[in-house]
Amino acid sequence: MTRADTVAAAAATPDREQPHAALGLTDAEYASITQQLGRRPTDAELAIYSVMWSEHCSYKSSRLYLRQFAEKAPPTTALLAGIGQNAGVVDVGQGYAVTFKIESHNHPSYVEPFQGAATGVGGIVRDILAMGARPVAVMDALRFGPADAADTRRVLPGVVGGISFYGNCLGLPNIGGELAFDACYSGNPLVNALCLGVMRHEDLKLARASGPGNKVVLFGSPTGPDGIGGASVLASASFGDDASGGERAKRPSVQVGDPFMEKLLVECCLELYAAGVVVAIQDLGAAGIACATTELAAAGQVGMTATLDAVPLRDRGLRPPEILMSESQERMMAVTTPADLDRFLKICARWDVPATVLGEVTDTGRLEMTWQGDVVVDIPPASAAEGPLCERPVQRPPGQDQLRADDLARADGEATRLREDLLALLGSPAGADKTWVTEQYDSDVRGNTVLAAPHDAGVLRIDEESHLGVAIATDGNARYCLLDPYAGTQLALAEAYRNVAATGARPLAVTNCLNFGSPEDPAVMWQFAESVRGLADGCQVLGIPVTGGNVSFYNQTGPDAIQPTPVVGVLGVLDDVRRRLPSGFSAPGETIMLLGRTTAEFGGSLWAQVTRGHLGGVPPAVDLAAEQRLAAVLAAAAVGGLLSAAHDVSEGGLGLALAESCLIGAGRAARPGSGPGIGCVVTMPAGPAGTSGSPDPLAFLFSESAARAIVVVRPGAEVEFAALCAANGVPAGTLGVTGGEFLEVSGLFTVPVAELSAVSQRTLPELFGHR
Amino acid sequence: MTVRIGIVTFPGSLDEVDATRAVARAGGTPVPLWHGDRDLRGVDAVILPGGFSYGDYLRCGAIARFAPVMAELIPAAAAGLPVLGICNGFQILCEAHLLPGALIRNAGLHFINKDVRIRIENNRTQWSTGYGSGEVVTVVLKSGVGAYVADQQTLADLAASDRVVARYADGSPNGSADDIAGIASADGNVVGLMPHPEHAIDMLTGPGTGGLSFFTSILTSAARA
């Protein structure tokens, strides 16, 4: 084997050509590295800079904008750790903290759906674990090309299978998520994985090395040649960018997951934390050892040594650049004191987790690595960890005004097709029952799942004695965002907020995964800038901070970017999960009410997409103050035991919401076929609540006006609930009553619940195969 | 004195927290057992919980069957110690030849998580005395390798000797032979169940409380013994 490229050699051969462009670094970035080091980088150093300065790791195009989350953060005492950590940490009371984060694994999941999605789950779980928490639940927000497209039949079952394989084997309940389809995702599906963890306040861990002389331990799976350049090559460029190889050449960039090792790693880490032998810890994800060492050292403002020969390898042929860049899964890096090292290693051995001392924390301020006795890396860690900043050109797309002016023309005879339209929405892939997917996930393991999909939010019990719990939901609507990325992102925030509130929880904090096209396209950067501004402004008004998140650029194949798809996750708390509200009807003879105002808003609606194939106009109006009032009513009503169900009204309007409530039931999760469903009889108000003008059945059923929910009032609580709504200024109108075997909209149409059930349940199995 | 029920943790066990909760809820004392210890800690009965022991590598249960704790458990079970294997635990019991037959991939090849109704066919094992004969209860099925198979002779023997403890009441959701959801050993002390009774012990987090009687049954049986 040839000798490594050493620091000494680099100093001696300043003019040697290096493949910085192939590694994704621009000429200017390469020049900056050379200037900072005072020499050319070694090939190992170049590897570190190329992955750390990639879009994926450095957020170089987005950091300028993301600052708003901190600058506009509402005053809160709930945040124990925020942006910049592996995940945000929120105080949920009684000494408990919850950490949660959502992250994309879009590109790997397109190249290799099963392993791409599986390792997406694995990666986010390690982020949560690294904060000191026990991971307790996962969720997935998924977007695919048209449901009937041939490639969707390759990608979707693979992604679902990968999530099922990894999450189930890891023993984490999958409690919800999203599934949407649009042609814009044909060449670039979105796989956003969320994980939530729980800890006591005092268990919080940070990725900040300290204490010169302390040991740096690498533990978990051995390092192999998988995922090399995943961050720089795969996640930081568009597919089809390079004429030579395209995605074929990128296949080795996808990692392979071993959930069994991850399970051991989780239990091992939790035992290490309990033993008090961890000074700092960092998961190995994108950019592997390069990222973990530079970030641990940079955050602690210390130096670090590492002997790369000590890294356990699956492939003995790996050289320093590959060892540093490998994204082999199921690895962690921790700092421990020399006194605790023995106990640390014994705990790892008890869990059959290989562990190796890689180096030490130093006071030199340099990250120094050796291989075969030679110094191959000697850099200031902050120079790699901080990365460059790009001010990308921003340009509002020229077609934006035209798109917004393209209102859907109302047509004669619309009101005669209401029944057909409702069944079309319910049978559409977006509106249909998702059991074909969720049945493949274990939603019950660990025994704390109080609500899971298809309820509005997942609800987990945190404490079995006090019944403290949390609710979590993710939402995103790319059609709204295409029409207006500022308002569309606020609508995603509002919907997730409302979904959490609909379970009776108090919304507390926000995470996000911002999926966009290429940042090199000024129109995409405009969408991104508007979206971030909308989210930051929205969180400020709602009084819930952004705790962290993830940006995924380059979601496009060739010149066509995906629609802007910010996915927003909201976490809420329930002081007593026994008071949670399910989304479905649980008993006949109870009063159904509609909260909020309805106006005719069809821009970006599911109705416009499914029945007219239309996307244009403006999205529904945002009223965050109304969302707050609605959430306050729902939380108070849940605590007071006034309601038996609540379901947010959003995509598909009131019609789809009612149909869902007939079918979902009150159990913890959807169990189609386990019950017949409960029907209802509703009547359209003479004039839609809070508006003037003549009754508009289409708006009544399918408008997507925001800040609305349907609720079912417990018998005897009608007066008290009406007073609560009035006191909070929430418009409330009686719609009808639960019961019977039909969904009946008086004077308009009637559908048997059995027909709703059949239409809703057949779509995904027919598309995606055998049961 | 309460009845002490051992719950084994193998590498990759997942539902041991749920089995522990169910034992405690039933009124027993859960005792954690470690795969690497050749020690049953003097327990009155043992539960092998669900999960993916050793990542299901090679075959589900095939590696766990050789764990040190099993070297104690196998002779103890043969001598009459009550043992309940749930899901992966059932697979381990089959691999250990404490129960006949095997579990294979679900008929649809997908993992299935759903509430299922099971009918108690034999309420005379130490794990099922709390049920009425023919009683139907709802529990949680969540497995990818859950289809019970055996040769025709074994299936006939199981039926003839009343060793089928529970059947899926609405037909097999996963391709199990004869709709079998659980079986017992010839002596009746070892029971394997594919669906999870420990996930049906309260209305808040499960489909009901129909699973709890498996855990109260053993307390009654063990106290009587």
Test mutation, B13, B91, B114, B212, chain A, max A CBs within 10 A: B114
Total number of domains in chain A: 2
* Residue A645 placed within a domain: yes
B187 to chain A, closest Cα gap in Å: 31
Inter-CA distances, A610 with A359, A431, A652, A674, Å: 59, 10, 10, 29
A211 in B contact zone (CB under 8 Å):
no
Can you tell me the mean pLDDT for A598-612?
96
A60 vs A45, A56, A385, A394, B224, CA distance in Å? Answer: 19, 8, 11, 15, 70
Is A537 a residue whose pLDDT tops 90?
yes
CA distance A438 to chain B (A): 8
- B47 and B21 in contact (C-beta within 8 Å)? no
Q: What is the pLDDT of residue A230?
A: 59
Q: With an 8 Å Cβ cutoff, are B115 and A671 in contact? A: yes
The C-alpha angle A253, A258, A260, rounded to 5 degrees, equals: 165
Residue B198 contacts A where some CB pair is shorter than 8 Å = yes
Separation in Å, CA of B165 to nearest CA in chain A: 23
CB spacing of B15 vs A461 below 8 angstroms? no
Q: Do A447 and B205 touch (CB under 8 A)?
A: yes
* Alpha-carbon distance A261 to nearest alpha carbon in chain B (angstroms): 8
**Site from A442, A468, A671, A768 to mutate, B interface, most B CB atoms within 10 angstroms:** A442
pLDDT reported for residue A248: 37
Domain of A602, in residue numbers: 581-771
Q: Which helix (H) or strand (E) holds A565?
A: strand A565-574
Dihedral, CA of residue A250, residue A56, residue A522 and residue A538, to nearest 10: 140
Task: Point out the residue among B18, B111, B199 whose CB comes nearest to the CB of A168.
Answer: B111
Residues of chain A in contact with residue B111, where contact means CB-CB under 8 angstroms, are 164-165, 168, 439-442
**DSSP designation for B66:** G
Mutation for B interface: A136, A160, A163, A439, most B CBs within 10 A: A439
Mean pLDDT of B77-93: 97
A415 versus A743: which is more confidently predicted? A743
Could you give phi then psi for residue B140, rounded to 5 degrees? -110, 125
Q: What's the half-sphere exposure (Cβ side, CA atoms, 13 Å) at B26? A: 33
pLDDT at residue A243 in the model: 38
State the CATH class of domain B4-224.
Answer: alpha beta
Model confidence at B1, pLDDT cuts 50, 70, 90, reads: low
What pLDDT is recorded for position A146?
97
Residue type, position B136, single letter? V
Q: What pLDDT does residue B119 have?
A: 98
C-alpha to C-alpha distance for A71 and A539, rounded to whole angstroms: 11
Distances (CA, A) of B7 to A492, A708, B69: 44, 48, 11
Q: Between residues A195 and A75, which one has the greater pLDDT? A: A195
Output the pLDDT for position A308. 96
Residues A637-649 pLDDT 10s: 999 999 999 999 9
Q: Return the structure tokens found at A439.
A: 């049945």
C-alpha–C-alpha distance, residues A388 and A54, integer Å: 9
Residues of B in contact with A439 (CB under 8 A): 110-114
What is the predicted pLDDT for the residue at A253? Answer: 62
What does the pLDDT average to over A328-336?
A: 96
Q: Which tops the pLDDT comparison, A521 or A2?
A: A521
Q: A490 is written with which tokens?
A: 């606020």
Element (H, E) at B71: helix B68-78
Yes or no: say if A195 and A480 are a contact pair by the CB < 8 Å rule.
no
Residue A125 has pLDDT above 90, yes or no: yes
Distance of CA A346 to the CA centre of its chain: 35
Establish if A365 belongs to a structural domain: yes
**CB contact A168 to B (< 8 Å):** yes
Residue A131 located in a structural domain? no
Mean pLDDT of chain B: 96
Kindly list the residues from chain A whose CB atom is less than 8 angstroms away from the CB atom of residue B200. Answer: none
Let me know if residue A330 belongs to a domain.
yes
Looking at every residue in chain A, the average pLDDT score rounds to 92
| CATH code for the domain of A598 | 3.90.650.10
> pLDDT band at A493, cuts 50/70/90?
very high
Confirm whether A194 is domain-assigned. no
pLDDT digits (tens, 9 = 90+) for A566-578: 999 999 999 999 9
Residue A21 covered by a domain = no
Chain A hits for B144, CB-CB cut-off 8 Å, are 164, 168
The answer to whether B2 faces chain A, any CB pair under 8 Å, is no
What is the sign, positive or negative, of the torsion defined by CA atoms of B23, B29, B30, B35? negative
* Nearest chain B alpha carbon to A439: B113
**pLDDT value, residue A393:** 97
Query: Which residue type sits at A525?
Result: M
Judged against a pLDDT cut of 90, whether residue A676 lies above it is answered with: no
More confident residue, A242 or A409: A409
Look at strands A355-362 and A303-307 and give their pairing: antiparallel
User: What pLDDT does A252 receive?
Assistant: 53
3-state helix, strand, coil in chain A (%, to 5): 40, 25, 40
A340, A367, A386: which is the final residue of a domain? A386
DSSP state letters, A206-245: -S---STT-EEEEEESPB-STTTTIIIIITTS-BT-STTT
- Own/partner pairs for A371-375, CB < 8 Å, 24+ apart? A371/A4, A371/A44, A371/A307, A371/A308, A371/A309, A371/A319, A371/A320, A372/A3, A372/A4, A372/A309, A374/A3, A374/A4, A374/A6, A374/A7, A374/A8, A375/A6, A375/A7, A375/A8
Of the partner residues B11, B50, B196, the one whose CB lies closest to the CB of residue A352:
B11
Percent of chain A topping pLDDT 90: 84
- Chosen domain end from A386, A407, A431: A386
Instruction: Report the SS3 class of residue A181.
Output: strand
Concerning whether B198 is annotated as a catalytic residue, the answer is: yes
pLDDT confidence tier of residue A673, bands split at 50, 70 and 90: very low
Give SS3 for A375: strand
Question: Which chain A residue lies closest to B113 (C-alpha atoms)?
Answer: A439
Contacts with B140 from chain A: Cβ below 8 Å: 444
pLDDT number for residue A77: 83
* CA–CA separation, A101 and A567 (whole Å): 11
Helix (H) or strand (E) holding A489: helix A485-502
pLDDT of residue B206: 94
pLDDT value for A225: 86
pLDDT at position B144: 97
Strands (E), A145-189: 174-181
Most confident range (mean pLDDT) of A241-245, A413-417, A486-490, A767-771 is: A486-490
Distance CA A423, CA A431 (A): 10
Q: What are the Cα distances from residue A272, in Å, to A341, A695, B18? A: 11, 64, 23
Both structure tokens of A305: 């040594």
Catalytic residues of A: 56, 105
Task: Enter the ipTM.
Answer: 0.96
In this predicted structure, what is the pLDDT of residue A241? 46
For A347, list phi and psi in degrees, rounded to 5: -65, -40
pLDDT of residue A114: 96
For A350, name the nearest residue in chain B, comparing CA atoms only.
B36
What is the Cα A23 distance to its own chain's centre?
Answer: 28
Query: DSSP readout, A16-30?
Result: ----TTTTT--HHHH
Tell me the pLDDT band of A250, cut-offs 50, 70 and 90. Answer: very low
Question: What 8-state DSSP symbol labels residue B177?
Answer: G
Tell if the CB–CB gap between B109 and A770 is shorter than 8 Å: yes
Q: How confident is the model at residue A410 (pLDDT cuts 50, 70, 90)?
A: confident
Per-residue confidence at A686, pLDDT binned at 50, 70, 90? Answer: confident
B94 Cα to chain A: minimum distance (Å): 20
**B16 pLDDT higher than 60:** yes
Q: How far apart are alpha carbons B200 and A328 in whole angstroms? A: 38
A172-189 pLDDT per residue, tens? 999 999 999 999 999 999
**Cα A43 versus chain centre, distance:** 35
Residues of chain B contacting A220 with CB distance shorter than 8 Å? none
The answer to whether position A600 is within a domain reads yes
Please report the residues numbered 98 through 117 in chain B whose beta carbons come closer than 8 angstroms to any beta carbon of chain A: 108-115
Q: CA separation (Å) from B14 to A10, A168, B150, B156, B195? A: 51, 9, 27, 33, 14
pLDDT of A771? 43
Residue A691 has pLDDT above 80, yes or no: no
Q: Average pLDDT in the B179-199 region? A: 97
Order of strands, sheet of B29-34, starting from the edge strand that comes earlier in the sequence? B29-34, B4-9, B45-48, B83-86, B190-193, B180-184, B164-168, B112-120, B136-143
Residue A2 has a pLDDT of 66
Give the whole-angstrom CA distance, residue B188 versus residue B122.
10
Q: Does residue A289 form part of some domain?
A: yes
Closest residue to B205, CB basis, from A260, A668, A674? A668
Nearest to A171 among B14, B140, B205 (CB): B14
Whether residue B208 lies within 8 A of chain A, CB to CB, comes out as no
